[in-house]
Amino acid sequence: MFEVITLGSGSAGNSMLVRSASSAFLVDAGLSAKQLSIRLDACGVRLEDLSGVLLTHEHQDHCGGLKVLLNRCNFPVYCNPMTARAMSDTGFPHANWRFFQNGCAFSLNEFTILPFQVPHDAADPVGFRISAHGACLGVLTDLGYATRNVFDVLKGIQALLIETNYDEQLLQQDMRRPWSVKQRIQSRHGHLSNAAAARVIDELDAPDLRHVILGHLSRDCNSPDLAETCVRTTLETRGRAASLYCAGQDRPSPVFGLI
């Protein structure tokens, strides 16, 4: 058993549950501790059951609920040293850190985790390739563009969580965001647009890709319809049979089984 559930995904908070028959862990903990507890409970997972949380980077929408969650249950926090330092610098208390190095795989129970660097405006942001029982999940969120290394690392995956942060036209038309913020979002250290994510999926060397989960949608500059339509067109053009699901901010996704 290798299952994935997004507990919530969007600019207001991100967290994903990965589990097997005997263990479970989170990737990011950006929802409130209360919501994380409620949604884990709905998935039949107790806090004490978690083997830890993996952090992609230190932005609040990825670790905002962690401090309160650790007060309730002091499970290990897996991240690279620069991410931990960035969190400590902003007042995050001492945690049960387990440091990894980008590009070096490590084990978490029966899972093998390979963290890999992505370009984003954080201290040392990463994506993950998570493998178990012969199946692989790619976690690719918060990146300005996909480097050659990203394509190398994600070869042959069966499931992918990828950010479709914004629709390019809606971002241009948005009156609330100043020009400098728009520039940041679109930069090579910002976020993937729907069209950019579709291109990444298109170029991915993963013929057995079965599940594509779209996440981290901007509330103002995107919609599930726009993101799904953009990516579906690419999948259909390429004759790919992967299921497509757009993760929401306010409720957990269905369960995606890799094996």
Phi, psi of 78 (to 5 degrees): -95, 120
Residue 233: what residue type? T
Minimal distance, residue 10 CB to Zn ion, in Å: 9
Q: Which is nearer to Zn ion, 59 or 240 (CB)?
A: 59
Residue closer to Zn ion by CB (options 17, 123) is 123
Site string for Zn ion, 49-88 (x = CB under 5 A): ----------x-x---------------------------
Q: Calculate the CA dihedral of residues 30, 54, 18, 166 and round it to 10 degrees.
A: 50
* Smallest gap from residue 149 Cβ to Zn ion (A): 19
Contact 179, 212 (CB under 8 A): no
**Is position 191 an interface residue for Zn ion (rule: CB under 5 A)?**
no
Count of beta carbons in the 10 Å neighbourhood of residue 257:
13
The label of the residue with tokens 């948005």 reads: 174
* Shortest Å distance, C-beta 186 to Zn ion: 14
Q: How far is the CB of 163 from Zn ion (least distance, A)?
A: 8
Count of residues that bind Zn ion according to CB under 5 A: 3
Single out the residue of 36, 142, 226, 253 in contact with Zn ion (rule: CB under 5 A).
142
- Return the range that interacts with Zn ion (CB under 5 A); candidates 128-136, 140-148, 181-189, 234-242: 140-148
- What's the closest the beta carbon of residue 147 comes to Zn ion, in angstroms? 16
Closer CB to Zn ion, 124 or 142, in the complex? 142
Contact 222, 166 (CB under 8 A): yes
Structure-block tokens of residue 123: 């201290």
Q: Which is nearer to Zn ion, 61 or 167 (CB)?
A: 61
Q: Which CB, 3 or 58, lies closer to Zn ion?
A: 58
Token pair for 216: 């981290």
Complex with Zn ion: residue 196 or 206, whichever CB lies closer: 196
Nearer to Zn ion, 123 or 209 (CB): 123
Q: φ and ψ at 107, to 5 degrees?
A: -105, 145
By three-state DSSP, how is residue 160 classified?
Answer: strand
Residue 248 phi/psi, 5-degree rounding, is -105, 165
Nearest approach, Cβ of residue 26 and Zn ion (Å): 15
Residue 96 — φ and ψ, nearest 5°? -80, 70
From residue 83 to residue 122, what is the string marking binding to Zn ion with x (rule CB under 5 A)? ----------------------------------------
Yes or no: say if 163 and 138 are a contact pair by the CB < 8 Å rule. Answer: no
59 burial class (0-12, 13-18, 19+ CB within 10 angstroms)?
buried
Q: Which residues bind Zn ion (CB under 5 A)?
A: 59, 61, 142
